[in-house]
Amino acid sequence: MAAEKTCYRCGSSTLETGRVQSTGRLHFHVENPKFMTLHTGYVPIISIMCLDCGTIEFVGEVSKARKISKKGEAA
């Protein structure tokens, strides 16, 4: 059983998943992507907000980052 996620600032477990948005979605861009890949260099960002203290945590989509990053290649 996975441990319940808590806010790293106040310890609350009252969290809500969403996204932060400006005129378009925010993405993380891998600085040194693989040269030839079928994926774009942008990694979607998921945000999680604590509904008690307002802290917002950003979490990148790890599976996509590994597919496009040179460091994500199998050794």
pLDDT surpasses 80 at 75: no
Structure pTM? 0.66
> How confident is the model at residue 40, as a pLDDT?
67
Rounded to an integer, what is the distance from CA 27 to the centroid of its chain? 9
pLDDT 10s digits, 16-68: 999 877 777 777 777 766 665 556 677 888 899 999 999 999 988 888 888 88
> What pLDDT, on the 0 to 100 scale, is given for residue 54?
96
CA 48 – CA 55 distance, rounded (Å)? 8
- What is the dihedral angle through the alpha carbons of 6, 3, 68, 21, rounded to the nearest 10 degrees? -30
- Domain ranges in the chain are 15-72
Residue range 7-12: mean pLDDT, rounded: 96
Cα–Cα distance for residue pair 18/16, rounded to 1 Å: 7
